[in-house]
Amino acid sequence: MRLILVGPPGAGKGTQAKRLVSQLNIPHVSSGDMFRAAIKNGTELGKQVQEIMKQGHLVPDEVTIKMVIARIKEDDCESGFMLDGFPRTRPQAEALDAALAADDLSLDAIVLIEAADEVIIERITGRRTAPKTGAIYHIKFNPPPEGVEVTQRADDTEEAVVQRMKKYHAETAPIIPFYEAKGLLKSVNGLQTPDQVTEDILSVLGVRKS
Ligand code: AP5
Ligand code: MG
């Protein structure tokens, strides 16, 4: 299955992707995680994107497209992938379509996880991640187990979140009609419990829970 998870910051894309990929047996391809790994490893790409991300701006399309298209051409993506955080602009959506079409491939679905702006700040400012495992926690909704070391993302400040939400509405939300017109769009309510959201995603994809 070739899938895209889309939704505002804090909608639960990463949380749901981690739960779904083992069931669907496809790799989780998160553009945000790839950029964060580049920053952590001190690569040229990391240096280029560090400040942009910290401020909640979007990395330029040409940089992002090159990185993600190369990733989905790797062997483990042959039978499918779950994209999280890409595409998030119209040029990125068109580049993905063109890259897939060149290999006679196409997307199966784009799942929109809907979440109101009001809940986003609380979700994001309370998020903690475990650097060792990549697990995503929340100080109130999903507290990390005792003894697990957690950190906060550099772009999880209130200021950066406001900027990320602006970018989402201005740049990313407009790609939704592009996929709707292709009949690929499936929407789920992201304001439910994580278990309920997972169940709804599997249901809109027509996958039976194993
Ligand atoms: P990215 O990493 O993609 O961040 P984002 O889109 O802002 O989304 P988040 O990761 O913040 O939220 P999420 O939806 O994954 O939520 P999560 O599951 O963690 O991008 C970061 C930056 O990288 C961008 O700003 C940009 O600079 C750059 N970038 C990346 N891709 C790019 C691209 N394609 N083009 C250009 N630039 C790009 O959940 C959030 C919190 O809520 C957690 O604490 C979680 O425990 C909690 N939670 C989740 N679900 C629930 C629930 N159902 N109920 C209660 N709490 C919940
Ligand atoms: Mg995420």
Instruction: Compute the distance from residue 11 Cα to the ligand 1 centre, in Å.
Output: 7
> Which residues place a Cβ less than 5 A from the ion ligand 2?
13-14
Q: Is the pLDDT of residue 209 over 80?
A: no
2 is catalytic: no
Q: Is the pLDDT of residue 163 over 90?
A: yes
Is the link from the previous residue into 87 a cis peptide, with omega within 30 of 0? yes
Q: Is the distance from CB of 155 to CB of 174 less than 8 angstroms?
A: no
Q: Is the pLDDT of residue 151 over 70?
A: yes
In 3D, which of 177, 168, 187, 37 has the Cα closest to residue 112? 187
Residue minimizing CA distance to atom 2 of ligand 1:
32
Average pLDDT over residues 67-89: 97
Q: Which helix (H) or strand (E) holds 123?
A: helix 117-125
Q: Is the pLDDT of residue 103 over 80?
A: yes
Kindly give, in sequence order, each residue whose CB lies less than 8 Å from that of residue 148, ignoring residues fewer than 6 positions away: 130, 135, 137
Rounded to the nearest integer, the mean pLDDT of the chain is 96
Q: What is the CATH number of domain 2-116+172-204?
A: 3.40.50.300
Domain boundaries of the chain, sorted by first residue = 2-116+172-204
Q: Which ligand lies nearest the alpha carbon of 161?
A: 1
Alpha carbon distance 24, 43 (integer Å):
32
Average pLDDT over residues 101-122: 95
Q: Is the pLDDT of residue 181 over 70?
A: yes
71 is catalytic: no
The per-residue pLDDT for 210 is 65
The per-residue pLDDT for 118 is 87
Tokens of 99: 């890259």
Which of 4, 5, 13, 161 has the most ligand 1 atoms within 8 A of CB, as the residue to mutate?
Answer: 13
Average pLDDT over residues 55-77: 97
Amino acid symbol at 34 = M
Identify the active-site residue in 2, 36, 127, 167. 127
| Percent of the chain predicted with pLDDT > 70 | 99
Identify each DSSP E strand in the chain by its residue range: 2-6, 28-30, 81-84, 109-114, 127-129, 136-138, 185-189
Q: Is the distance from CB of 167 to CB of 59 less than 8 angstroms?
A: no
